[in-house]
Amino acid sequence: MSAHPSSSSAAATEEPGSPRATRVLVLNSGSSSVKYQLLDMRDSSRLAVGLVERIGEGTSLLRHTALTTGETRERAAEFTDHEAALKAVAAELAVDGLGLNSPELAAIGHRVVHGGRTFTEPTVIDEAVLAEIERLIPVAPLHNPANLTGIRTATALRPDLPQVAIFDTAFHTTMPESAARYAIDVATADEHRIRRYGFHGTSHAYVSRATAELLGKAPEEVNVIVLHLGNGASASAVRGGRCVDTSMGLTPLEGLVMGTRSGDVDPAVIFHLERVGKMSTDEIDTLLNKKSGLIGLCGDNDMREIRRRVDEGDEQARLAFDIYIHRLKKYIGAYYAVLGRVDAVVFTAGVGENAAPVREAAITGLEELGLAVDGELNAVRGGEPRLISPPYARVAVAVVPTDEELEIATQTYALVGKGQRPSGPESHA
């Protein structure tokens, strides 16, 4: 099912749709933080970036960089809520002549973690959209409430400006039912919205498309396995520009071994911990989401530190690294089978872009699948998309830095550029 913004549009003077309105503010609102970037979509350049941390936790910190001048400013203050934080962000932008009242601001793009099956594309936000995001809180209790707060605060500051939601789950809504359905009772699953949704979709969309460009082909021509490896990690199988499978599921807990999350476990582990370990649901939730993965295996979730320990002969760190790589190989192999033909395996996000040992270990042993890594190319560090496979490799192996903020801005501006503006609540169910 697809959610569409209102088809009626209002002509904007010095607003979205006008020649001068080429800027997009991207907001990523967490429970106690706001990350933001201001981009000029004429050339996709960044004008300002920043972060507000510890909102509502006493002394907050705002770090703002004006890329037009290179100046970075920091200040500590008591931001009791997101409204106070966003007002402070607006004030910092205004100092640089980039304020929210500028006629050059076309729209505000919001990262929204969970859009369920309803939202399959960028969507101009109205009351009906807000209601649906709120209705999805039970399947995204940590993220959607914070996203809603950011949207409502930004709307209050600029009620005349289009607010656009870009959903983490949207890219994965193209999965076939055979991949998205869990093998449990259908009526129960439908009643409680239990299915594979997937996350990091904005990153997977950007990276799969950039990989096709790196190969000199159109996205529709290539099959790609994307490995988004950060503190949170996910894999996706992308056939012809459309996701056909992904490792995260109902929540971001499923799949790969992550910094603090377990990834795949036997569901009966939960029953065992309840019955034998006498642990509560909340305790098990905390265990699997915050005390598992790499930090549970060796006490560290920073891959740089883990590799340092491995190099020094630390057996616990070596085991954690081996488990991490074993899971990665399983997903590469599984998605190779799902796709049938693979043109590229691509690494992205903090670990994927920077940890050469992870890339080498994940691909080593897969030569029969046409995969190989060139040691010298793999050792090169850089901010541009690049191949790290040798010329003879049948399947390309690449490193493509993700850029979720640019993807959000691009999708937001493309939608606003159509002149589509919200005209009031309508059904998106």
Cα dihedral sign, 428-207-364-379: negative
Secondary structure class of 398 (helix, strand, coil): strand
Residues 402 and 348 sit within 8 Å (Cβ to Cβ): yes
Cα dihedral sign, 221-224-230-233: positive
Phi, psi torsion values for 307, nearest 5 degrees: -65, -35
Q: Position of tokens 């500028």?
A: 102
Residues 270 and 242 sit within 8 Å (Cβ to Cβ): no
Comparing C-alpha atoms, which of 207, 101, 198, 118 is closest to residue 159? 101
Specify the DSSP element, H or E, that contains 356.
Answer: helix 356-363
For residue 9, count CB atoms less than 10 angstroms from its CB and return exposed for 0-12, middle for 13-18, buried for 19 or more.
Answer: middle
CA distances 123 to 99, 108, 127, 129, 152, Å, are 24, 12, 12, 8, 15
Residue 168 a catalytic site member: yes
Strand partners, 247: none
One of 40, 126, 168, 403 is an active-site residue; which one?
Answer: 168
Query: Which positions are catalytic?
Result: 168
